[in-house]
Chain A
């Protein structure tokens, strides 16, 4: 039986019940009583700051009032009208940086209204019912192609279907959901929620998903344009930044997103191998997720190595504290220099850094960490050969997702502007859908 101390990369470091407990809901759902207590705290603010802070502009005071008055399904409709993936967003939004940060009770008491958990309470209630809460408008006869079945693509497709258009989603992978399915940390989306949410969303009707259709292979923008009235590109960020460290291709060095993708699809997490000493390079949400999940699988020591100070990590303060509370060490102001190992990696050498005149420079001082598994989480990049203008490595868009080519829209992580978050992708997909609709139906 392997343990946390077994050298190398090994599966089954923890007993099954321990792994199951580790990967249970990070934030357990509120029960009815807890939701009533939490909802009571909302002040029903005027022009509420939490709404402004929500990328999808959910009418938060209204939905909380609907929960408080005993109508969680009405609350769910208020949420879903603005954000059809309100269920997933309730689980994965960094609320501490968004709505809850803006909540006036954060200002008043340092304890915001629990908007995210209340949102989950409402959306869970409606999704537990049979059927779909929205209906389609009369058919328009328009056909629209959406490329990519992540949050941006699904949100756009749903809104278009609701408006009466027929939508086909072309998805490169074998399964829809995008990073909801392959990226988000497992303890945020338990019980196969991502897949259940996609099924529920498709309940609107009028959306067909074709999997195994990769843009640039089976399909092309030109081809889609020829067969459809509009095209929406929502292909996310397919590439991963490379390290500039010697030894990057030694066995045991992997992309954090790939590791997470495998983890999310694993039927049995005790069969998923993980290192004894894991080092994650990066400072964002992906780094935190890879590190925390390695620890939860039973790695003995897990270190996040970030090249600047902790306050500059793009992972939120909440995520950093989460990582530390799970036993992950955050090492800051270090950059990788070289990775060593004969058949497989055994250690990694970092150089201490300092910011001099606003520029990050190495100080020459070195630290060596033992490592039998190294994850790269230094950012994803847009890869895609698309016949539309690209700026700063993403598809250039103006307004509600218009690309440089008429009839082609884009949104989500692959498009310029906005943070790379699920909720932002949903907002951009929805807004593009409304613009596509307005354009196709006469523009007025």
Chain B
């Protein structure tokens, strides 16, 4: 069995599955149970400064987007940071870390953007024996209005400044958690590393309104007839999160820097995908909130089975392996030609491929009177839409054409050589091939 032990910033945990800073990590009771269930580490629910804690709304704080059969695709929330006393949290962290020395314990922090505030809290955290801190520059609601959370995360200079304070007043690793509510994720990531962050973690939640109550004419979750934007998370945000992780992993300025991947991780496969794109580990929130702590067992068995199949002995064998294959559109091989092919034995004749291609693509699928669906190679542009909408897995496949064959759509011979847009004759800015 593959060894899932993962070392991130020198912090070793028995597996790469950490719980993200959120309700699952809000208190000792939860975290002990999470560790018993098998989670490799936790990022404790974000702590604020000493003094009266923040308050949460007393109405609903979550909204939801469902897929078929009420499967949760996305949740949004308007919860704030911990609403429990700072010292209670610190005592609990100390106790739990002592009892679980082999698990990663990271403390998430969010205090005002003033040096004194950080200088006050960091020694207290240091005393707990936790393995590191995560700076919550991501929370998009409530805290941002008070100049914290994503209000900091959206200003690269603040990120650098606060990170530098933390490096100055705290001895252990500092992770900077990024907000996706920006235009280019590379800027806040560069700013974090400029302040000497040890790693970035991303994404925090995405600003969102998940639903509108059409009777009350209010966004949901609705509190006394009103709603506000909340942070979106869960399977629906995974594609956005993975792109952001990949952008940082392949940015020349931040390439190779440690990343903790967050956003929609629900199964072992999601975790493997994030890690292939350069995440050194993953953090999970919504999946645990939807199904409970037990899911980590599927993540553990799934990841290790897959690693055994692929011959990976440890997680470092595949972390970042997909990064070199993430490129810009302009470098994609325009000489690669594929055609959709329907496996007639697998086809159940639903006609979805036909409707999709005929109504919205390239009119490349024919339908006979007895419902046989066939791709017409002379029209197919290999857009993949039919594959996407076909309800039967592997029923439609994209078959690459071989060099030397004639593409019946264009009448051109398929070339063996790679050629991209930068040298394409239709490109006004084309450069001569070297």
Cβ-defined partner of B367 (8 Å) among A47, A48, A107 = A47
Complex Cα distance A279/B71, Å?
51
In B340-365, which residues have CB < 8 Å from any A CB?
Answer: 348-352, 354-355
Complex Cα distance A398/B413, Å?
57
Complex Cα distance A104/B352, Å?
11
Let me know if B69 and A40 touch, CB within 8 A: yes
Chain A residues contacting B392 (CB-CB under 8 Å) are: 108
**Residue on B nearest A39 in the bound complex, by CB:** B68
Let me know if A49 and B352 touch, CB within 8 A: no
Chain B residues contacting A45 (CB-CB under 8 Å) are: 350-352
Let me know if B349 and A104 touch, CB within 8 A: yes
In A15-56, which residues have CB < 8 Å from any B CB?
Answer: 36-37, 40, 43-49
Let me know if A48 and B391 touch, CB within 8 A: no
Let me know if A37 and B350 touch, CB within 8 A: no
The verdict on B409 contacting chain A, using a C-beta distance below 8 Å, is: no
Let me know if B348 and A46 touch, CB within 8 A: no
Chain A residues contacting B119 (CB-CB under 8 Å) are: none
Q: A37-B69, A108-B391 are in contact. Are A43 and B352 (CB under 8 A)?
A: yes
Let me know if B391 and A46 touch, CB within 8 A: no
Complex Cα distance A45/B348, Å?
10
Q: A108-B391, A108-B392 are in contact. Are A49 and B349 (CB under 8 A)?
A: yes
Complex Cα distance A48/B350, Å?
7
Cβ-defined partner of A107 (8 Å) among B70, B348, B351, B354 = B348
Complex Cα distance A47/B68, Å?
22
**Residue on B nearest A105 in the bound complex, by CB:** B348
Chain A residues contacting B68 (CB-CB under 8 Å) are: 40
Complex Cα distance A104/B70, Å?
23
Chain B residues contacting A36 (CB-CB under 8 Å) are: 69-70
Could you give, for residues 87-125 of chain A, a 1 whenever the CB lies within 8 Å of some chain B CB and a 0 otherwise? Answer: 000000000000000001101100000000000000000
Q: A108-B391, A108-B392 are in contact. Are A46 and B351 (CB under 8 A)?
A: yes
Complex Cα distance A46/B391, Å?
13
Q: A43-B391, A46-B355, A47-B367 are in contact. Are A104 and B350 (CB under 8 A)?
A: yes
Complex Cα distance A43/B348, Å?
11
Cβ-defined partner of B371 (8 Å) among A40, A43, A49 = A49
Q: A107-B349, A108-B391 are in contact. Are A46 and B69 (CB under 8 A)?
A: no
Complex Cα distance A49/B372, Å?
12
Which of B348, B367, B392 has the most C-beta atoms of chain A within 10 angstroms of its own C-beta?
A: B348
Chain A residues contacting B348 (CB-CB under 8 Å) are: 104-105, 107-108
Could you give, for residues 157-193 of chain B, a 1 whenever the CB lies within 8 Å of some chain A CB and a 0 otherwise? Answer: 0000000000000000000000000000000000000
Complex Cα distance A46/B348, Å?
12
Complex Cα distance A105/B350, Å?
9
A248 to chain B, nearest CB (A): 47
Complex Cα distance A47/B352, Å?
9
Complex Cα distance A431/B68, Å?
37
Chain B residues contacting A49 (CB-CB under 8 Å) are: 349, 371
Complex Cα distance A36/B367, Å?
31
B391 to chain A, nearest CB (A): 5
Complex Cα distance A40/B70, Å?
9
Complex Cα distance A47/B371, Å?
9
Chain A residues contacting B69 (CB-CB under 8 Å) are: 36-37, 40
In B394-420, which residues have CB < 8 Å from any A CB?
Answer: none
Chain A residues contacting B391 (CB-CB under 8 Å) are: 43, 108
In B132-178, which residues have CB < 8 Å from any A CB?
Answer: none
**Residue on B nearest A106 in the bound complex, by CB:** B348
Let me know if A44 and B371 touch, CB within 8 A: no
Could you give, for residues 387-400 of chain A, a 1 whenever the CB lies within 8 Å of some chain B CB and a 0 otherwise? Answer: 00000000000000
Chain B residues contacting A44 (CB-CB under 8 Å) are: 352
Complex Cα distance A43/B347, Å?
13
Complex Cα distance A107/B70, Å?
25
Could you give, for residues 41-79 of chain A, a 1 whenever the CB lies within 8 Å of some chain B CB and a 0 otherwise? Answer: 001111111000000000000000000000000000000
A49 to chain B, nearest CB (A): 7
**Residue on A nearest B389 in the bound complex, by CB:** A43
Chain A residues contacting B349 (CB-CB under 8 Å) are: 49, 104, 107
Complex Cα distance A105/B69, Å?
16
Complex Cα distance A14/B70, Å?
44
Complex Cα distance A348/B69, Å?
54
Chain B residues contacting A105 (CB-CB under 8 Å) are: 348
**Residue on B nearest A45 in the bound complex, by CB:** B350
Which of B349, B350, B352, B355 has the most C-beta atoms of chain A within 10 angstroms of its own C-beta?
A: B350
Chain A residues contacting B354 (CB-CB under 8 Å) are: 46
**Residue on B nearest A37 in the bound complex, by CB:** B69
A234 to chain B, nearest CB (A): 33
Chain B residues contacting A48 (CB-CB under 8 Å) are: 350-351
Complex Cα distance A151/B201, Å?
67
B15 to chain A, nearest CB (A): 34
Chain A residues contacting B371 (CB-CB under 8 Å) are: 47, 49
Complex Cα distance A43/B68, Å?
11
In A217-244, which residues have CB < 8 Å from any B CB?
Answer: none
Complex Cα distance A49/B367, Å?
13
A291 to chain B, nearest CB (A): 36
In A268-308, which residues have CB < 8 Å from any B CB?
Answer: none
B375 to chain A, nearest CB (A): 15
A79 to chain B, nearest CB (A): 21
Chain B residues contacting A107 (CB-CB under 8 Å) are: 348-349
A42 to chain B, nearest CB (A): 10
Complex Cα distance A40/B391, Å?
13
Chain B residues contacting A37 (CB-CB under 8 Å) are: 69
Complex Cα distance A37/B66, Å?
12
Which of A36, A37, A107, A108 has the most C-beta atoms of chain B within 10 angstroms of its own C-beta?
A: A108
B357 to chain A, nearest CB (A): 10
B67 to chain A, nearest CB (A): 9
**Residue on A nearest B349 in the bound complex, by CB:** A104
Complex Cα distance A40/B352, Å?
16
Chain B residues contacting A108 (CB-CB under 8 Å) are: 348, 391-392
Chain B residues contacting A104 (CB-CB under 8 Å) are: 348-350
**Residue on B nearest A109 in the bound complex, by CB:** B348
Could you give, for residues 180-199 of chain A, a 1 whenever the CB lies within 8 Å of some chain B CB and a 0 otherwise? Answer: 00000000000000000000
Q: Which residues of A come within 8 Å of B, CB atoms?
A: 36-37, 40, 43-49, 104-105, 107-108
Give me 9 other A-B pairs in contact (C-beta within 8 A), A40-B68, A45-B352, A108-B392 excluded.
Answer: A43-B350, A44-B352, A45-B350, A46-B351, A46-B354, A47-B351, A47-B367, A104-B348, A108-B391
A-B contact pairs, 19 of them (CB 8 A): A36-B69, A36-B70, A37-B69, A43-B350, A43-B352, A43-B391, A45-B350, A45-B352, A46-B354, A46-B355, A47-B367, A47-B371, A48-B351, A49-B371, A104-B349, A104-B350, A107-B348, A108-B348, A108-B391
The 10 A-B pairs with the shortest beta carbon distances in the complex, nearest first, are A46-B351, A46-B355, A40-B68, A104-B348, A45-B350, A104-B350, A107-B348, A108-B348, A43-B350, A40-B69
